[in-house]
Amino acid sequence: MSKRITDGLSRLQNQSRIPATTWRHWCNLLDLDPVDAVDVWEGICHPIMVATRKVPEVPYILQMRAARLELDIFDFKEEVPKVLHITAFLYALKDERMTGGKARSALLKFYRKSALQIPPDQPPGLFVQKFIVDLCAVVLVAKVLPAANITLASVLKPVVEGHGNIEQIIGLGLKVLADKPYADKVRQCLEDRENAANNPLPEPDELSAEDAEGDGDDSDDGDDGDDYGETEEAVADTADEYAASPAEDAEDAEDDYESDAGEEEYDDGDDYGEVEGDSLEVYLARFKNALHAIYETEAEVESEVGEEEDEALSEKRAAQLAARLKAIAMFKPLQAMIPSDEEAALIAQRAEAKRNRGTVRKPVLAAGPSAGGGAVAAGGDMPMVAVIKGGTGKSAARGEEVAKPGERAHGDVEGSVDVAANDMVEPEDVSLPELSDKAHEIGQLLAALEPNDQQAWGLLIDPHAHIPSPWALARQICSVGTGLEKAYADIKQIARYMKLKDLLNTSNHTVRRDRNFAIELRTFINSLNNHRKFDSNSPQLAPLGRILDHAAAALVRLEALKTNFNFSTEYPDSYNRETVTLYYEEALRGLTDLVDVELRGQAREKADADSDVLLAAFRAEQFVEKLLQTVRTYMTAMRDKGATKSVAEFNIATIVEPIEFEDVEEGTPLGPVPDDLLVADDMGEVFAAACAYVLEKSWQVMQEVHQPLAVAERIIDVLREVLVVSAVFTPEMWRHEENSSLGLAVVSLDKVTGNQTLQELYVRLRSSGELAFIEGFEDGNFIDLFEIREYKPSRVHAAVKKEQEDEGTEPLQTGHKYLYTVGRTDKLFAKTPNDLISGCIRAEGGGPKVFNVF
């Protein structure tokens, strides 16, 4: 692959945060030259991302590009926003007939089908014009057909599959119009289709940045559209076609389309500019008039049917009608455009200002990989997750039956996860009079930061520093009361004052990037100790801007660690790097846009590396847990069918039915099992044989990332639990304080369980060396528990001694150790002695019940 392509894909990865391998995979599946993918990103997707601050629907747009490779990128750039605008419009109507039945899949197929039927000499602009005209006609037909289960997708199906054409669809629609109130308007539009489709569009006028924003910056308002989250696993297992977005997800895009109308005035009447202008404009006006009339008629019919309905339902229907009419009024596909980078930046700035004046909506992230869905500047955002399927170039969207849970399906098929309100970090608005007080507050937070946690302090100084143990750090952040948790809160609060940078008026030469930041940091803290008043020109505040940037960059690292930990523990089925990145980036969006670009990029790069380490550890632990469960299940089955009675029987059973592990990945073999792991026969020959067999088989499927030595110890612990009933131990003889003349055969629990903290606790053995579980008591799995204690005489012991002398039993010897009965239990494998004793059968008084052991 050429250096230009490699550099281009690397740039795409950095800008889109979609792995270069995923880009390359998409190109291979779609038979798309990577150069074309780079052009699509730079000319279309990147401006959309800048304007909306979301990665757009990249797979969807790439598939459109793959269908229109004959176009140069500039002509395609003119075509894309118009098509995406129509899709956004359909969802904004909040009409199940428009969005039900895999509408997105049908629209993409219709686009491909239309592209295949283009005459060789047709002007580029005429294709999108005909596509718009035909799709508008199909929309009207889908609305007028009387069947209850009709959808836009079902009307398009015969056209897409080659069983019919648009003319036949329109003819069917005209037949059912009859004398309906809207018949004349629908008929007028449908009969004008041929004229509108075949007259070329006029050349579009050049739009200014302000015009571009007027048409499209509102598409960012309150967007809850999906974000990119496609993993390499999901790409390899994607579906055959785009599926319809589920209704609950569509609602977010519908709201976005309404917000796309912005504050622009629109006419809620039924006249959208009739018969003036070119034929396409006339056609679109007639289409809007016809659709307007259809929805008004539907509302009137519903109102007549539900005369007795309550006021709340009436208001709901009125609001629904108003939303639909507004969406129709704002349907302007000819004005949809992709802004330039400069225009996109201006759109984003104004959208940010508008967002800051209102309420911030919590974004919804897929609980699994998802793809971000911004449509285009003039079109609003769409609720869709697109992935590319190997071999077909088709895609699947959220809501389609791609795969069942556990089969590498999109996690969002099962549900979604909100960015929690306490995870959202927004910059606080500050005024000039507050500058001094806020600076002092930041100084106090910084002064407390280093004592709370050295690692957090180190990240503040160097946000792209290496973290030796990301998992331990992530756990500490999420553990209440730890020093790191407090330091994380302090850094977050400092970062919230990011807007203080705009109030500073210190000279640029006083802030030097090459100066030791740790020195600047301590100098800043020391300068605030005298509680003097500062203003925007105070030289002591010169490092403040850099401090705020470092705090926000450090917060990116810490937030990534926290999000990784939370997903791994709360949403393990949805845990992947893309979902994690989308979550914390969304949570920090208000801050990161204000951070120094270079520092932010470095922090993000390191955050991605941390996520990779954590994800690898998570996957390794998942494999280990599955391996341990396989060992437990296998050995339990062996024990239950009597294969652990002797070594010979066990060996035969393993030949007949060997242990098998699932999800084994190829890697570098570990070699033979270390000799020191092969345990001695202190639990019997069968146990030793079982350990040797299971360890050898497990060793063959593990890699270094699984930490095989530690896993081997866990395997042995599992075998101890499963085979404890048949294990054979070497007995120790101890006297019991109740009958010191009789020695009892016992074994310490540390030899049974491998837990050294239980070495002072003992259980009884049979003459065969097996544990003396009490037959006939409960389920037969209970055993008496003893503790070794040193005998110390007391008044009570004196009475016992006299009684023993009278009975002729051997008296207890001062300073000697004896067995004392603790209780009776069926749970030997506890972490601590207290846990074990607490698990014993309780007496009426609440303490362990002591049974007679003689």
Packed helices 597-640 and 544-570: angle between N→C axes, nearest 10 degrees: 20
pLDDT at 745: 93
Q: And the tokens for 423?
A: 């995870």
pLDDT at 224: 35
pLDDT at 690: 92
Which are the contacts of 665, defined by CB distance < 8 A and separation ≥ 6?
623, 703
- H or E element at residue 559: helix 544-570
Residue 661 is classified by DSSP as -
pLDDT at 5: 58
What pTM, to 2 d.p., does this model score?
A: 0.47
Distance CA 727, CA 792 (A): 35
pLDDT at 681: 60
**Which residue is associated with the tokens 């005489």?**
793
Q: Which residues of the chain have pLDDT under 50?
A: 1, 204-268, 274-275, 357-417, 508-511, 795
3-state secondary structure of 450: helix
pLDDT at 798: 57
Q: 636, 722 in Cβ contact below 8 A? A: yes
pLDDT at 765: 92
Q: Widest CA span of the chain, in angstroms?
A: 124
- For residues 236, 242, 243, 248, the Cα torsion angle rounded to the nearest 10 degrees is 90
Distance CA 548, CA 503 (A): 13
N-to-C CA span, the chain:
82
pLDDT at 786: 92
What sign does the CA torsion over 167, 173, 179, 185 have?
A: negative
Q: Where are the alpha helices (DSSP H) in 1-57?
A: 3-16, 20-30, 34-40, 46-52
Which are the contacts of 72, defined by CB distance < 8 A and separation ≥ 6?
none
Which are the contacts of 797, defined by CB distance < 8 A and separation ≥ 6?
791, 812
